[in-house]
């Protein structure tokens, strides 16, 4: 990769952009993953907001045609749109599961409060009350955190992946002959 905003991919075939090529350990420019996966991996650890990103794809000279940029853009849009949809479906699944377990969480909290109240009102020893209080605190924490984890935090990776694919779709691309 050239600079923070100028990305370069050196491919042996135009299909290597979407499909991982057969790995050749003796070829120093050969990728062990597809070009898109390489871009996603590179962009994952970087701030991707903004429009300063540019991609240059180096291909064998015989594969560069006047139609190539339009064909590649259409293929990238199809591929990345599917990846975005997969990520959004996963986020929806996490949220649905989180919302579905909220009643279970309230039931656990109610049971914990009932046990604590029963131990307190029945005059259980102080040690038993402390142990029950610790159990109830853990129930509160787990029952309250579990759905929030699913609803808010579990989909962050998928959201990041969807945003990375949106960037790959919109970044300007140049195709040049390998030298």
**Domain residues for 17?**
6-92+166-177
Same domain, residue pair 122 and 70: no
pLDDT on residue 162: 94
- Beta pairing class for 6-10 and 173-177: unpaired
pLDDT over threshold 70, residue 23: yes
Residue 35 lies in a domain: yes
Q: For the chain, what is the domain count?
A: 2
Residue 159 lies in a domain: no
Q: What is the pLDDT of residues 87-114, one digit of tens each?
A: 999 999 999 998 998 888 888 888 878 8
173, 68 in Cβ contact below 8 A? no
Question: Does the predicted TM-score (pTM) go above 0.95?
Answer: no
Residue 1 lies in a domain: no
Same domain, residue pair 44 and 121: no
Q: Which residues pair with 176 in a beta bridge?
A: 58
Tokens 């969480």 locate to: 105
Measured CA to CA in angstroms, residue 82 lies from 59, 68, 85, 155 at distances of 25, 21, 5, 17
169, 80 in Cβ contact below 8 A? yes
Same domain, residue pair 33 and 78: yes
Residue 160 lies in a domain: no
């Amino acid at each position: 990769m050239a600079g923070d905003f100028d990305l370069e991919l050196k491919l042996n075939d135009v299909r290597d952009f979407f499909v991982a090529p057969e790995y050749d350990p003796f070829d120093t420019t050969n990728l062990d993953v597809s070009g898109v996966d390489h871009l996603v991996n590179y962009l994952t650890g970087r701030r991707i907001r903004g429009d300063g990103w540019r991609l240059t794809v180096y291909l064998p000279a015989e594969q560069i045609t006047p139609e190539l940029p339009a064909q590649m853009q259409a293929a990238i849009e199809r591929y990345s749109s599917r990846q975005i949809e997969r990520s959004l479906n996963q986020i929806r699944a996490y949220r649905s599961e989180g919302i579905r377990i909220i009643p279970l969480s309230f039931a656990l909290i109610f049971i914990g409060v009932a046990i604590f109240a029963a131990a307190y009102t029945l005059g259980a020893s102080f040690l038993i009350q402390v142990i029950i209080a610790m159990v109830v605190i853990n129930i509160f924490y787990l029952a309250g955190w579990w759905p929030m984890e699913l609803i808010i935090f579990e989909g962050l990776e998928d959201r990041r992946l969807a945003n990375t694919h949106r960037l790959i779709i919109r970044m300007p691309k140049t195709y040049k002959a390998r030298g």
